[in-house]
Amino acid sequence: MSGKVAARDIVEGVLERTKKAEPFNPIATLDAEGARAAADALDARRKGGGSFGALAGVPVSAKDLILTKGLRTAFASITMKDNVPSMDAEAIAQWRAADAVLFAKTTTPEFGHKVLTDSPLHGITRNPWNREHTSGGSSGGAAVSVALGLGPIAMSTDGAGSGRIPAACCGVYGLKATLGRVPHEVPPDQFGQLTYLGVMARHPTDLGAGLASMSGSHPNDPWTLAIGREPFAWPDKSGGHPIAGKRITVIRRMTGGYLDPDTEARLDAALALLDKQGAKIKEMDGREIDWKLDVARIILRANQIERFADILKN
């Protein structure tokens, strides 16, 4: 923290923006007082000459599927509307340790079960560009929040596109990191431990900052031990470009033939840049792949029944 702007002033600015964002409904639970208290503690530490983490004073939000100590995590379900966890998910704990200021939980469909963001508990989350359009899902609230300037980064989840789909719908960046890069020690989940914690932002640099501060290993997630104990960090600027020699598989189309011309032009430009930097690019036609969607749906529903059977009995 440079001291040019007080953390409390930043938080007050974000809280004011949340009022303007209400017609889009991206917030599941707002923690105004908790955010103010965290900001005041940071300002007091600065005056005392203390040191700070990499996200000091940065207002952040987290999807309503991610455990947050002392702050309601309802999974967008009426059955869990009074659930207040006694612990943070490790990724949240790491953001707090980096001195980020958690101000809200963002909306999701009930238990994150679909690619539209609406629920009986929180209602419908609207697209930030046009309220008649969808925000996507299931991390729709996270995407809308960063698109509307409610903090530069938001923590999302992604099992089958839950981060990338709303990012595309809302015009922001959504990152699903490599398995094990971000600790996710609280499954089982409805995707059979295939859900990842991710980051959303309006700028790639902010994605990197969020990822770097949530990528430490955790003993309850063996995948983080497999990938190594060093958190993600931007490559050293000295030497060759970090993308040189990396293998990149590009799938332009999945099961359908249409791709927006402007999107494809931007994709071509990005690939040209990556090729110039020495990446090894391979194109694959997704329409020639049997994605086993029917099998995937069966596995998904079976996992949901296993997880939610007790709730369905009530």
pLDDT tens digit sequence for 43-64: 999 999 999 999 999 999 999 9
* pLDDT at residue 243, as a whole number: 86
pLDDT tens digit sequence for 103-136: 999 999 999 989 999 999 999 999 999 999 999 9
pLDDT digit string (tens) for the chain, length 314 residues = 566 899 999 999 999 999 999 999 999 999 999 999 999 999 999 999 999 999 999 999 999 999 999 999 999 999 999 999 999 999 999 999 999 999 999 999 999 989 999 999 999 999 999 999 999 999 999 999 999 999 999 999 998 899 999 999 999 999 998 888 999 987 655 455 678 999 999 999 999 999 999 999 898 888 888 776 677 777 666 666 778 899 999 999 988 889 999 999 999 999 999 999 999 999 999 999 998 888 888 887 787 777 777 877 76
Residue 135 is which amino acid?
S
CB 146 within 8 A of CB 153: yes
Per DSSP, the chain holds a count of helices (H) and strands (E) of 9, 10
Domain boundaries, the chain: 7-234, 237-314
CATH numeric code, 7-234? 3.90.1300.10
* pLDDT at residue 227, as a whole number: 75
CB 312 within 8 A of CB 77: no
Q: Collapsing DSSP states into helix, strand and coil, what is residue 45?
A: helix
Report how far residue 222's alpha carbon sits from residue 301's, in angstroms, rounded to the nearest whole number. Answer: 26
Which residues are CB-contacts of 83 (< 8 A; sequence separation ≥ 6)? 72, 73, 74, 75
* pLDDT at residue 2, as a whole number: 63
* pLDDT at residue 311, as a whole number: 78
Of 175, 191, 212, give the one whose Cα is nearest residue 97.
212
At 187, phi and psi to the nearest 5?
Answer: -60, 165
Query: Is this model's pTM higher than 0.85 or not?
Result: yes
DSSP state of 134: B
* Residue 278 vs residues 82, 204, 251, 272, 287: alpha-carbon distances, Å: 52, 20, 19, 10, 27
Structure tokens at 7: 């953390």
Report how far residue 232's alpha carbon sits from residue 214's, in angstroms, rounded to the nearest whole number. Answer: 8
Residue 214 is which amino acid?
M
* pLDDT at residue 188, as a whole number: 56
Catalogue the active-site residues.
Answer: 63, 138, 162
CB 182 within 8 A of CB 211: yes
| Count of C-beta atoms within a 10 Å radius of residue 287 | 13
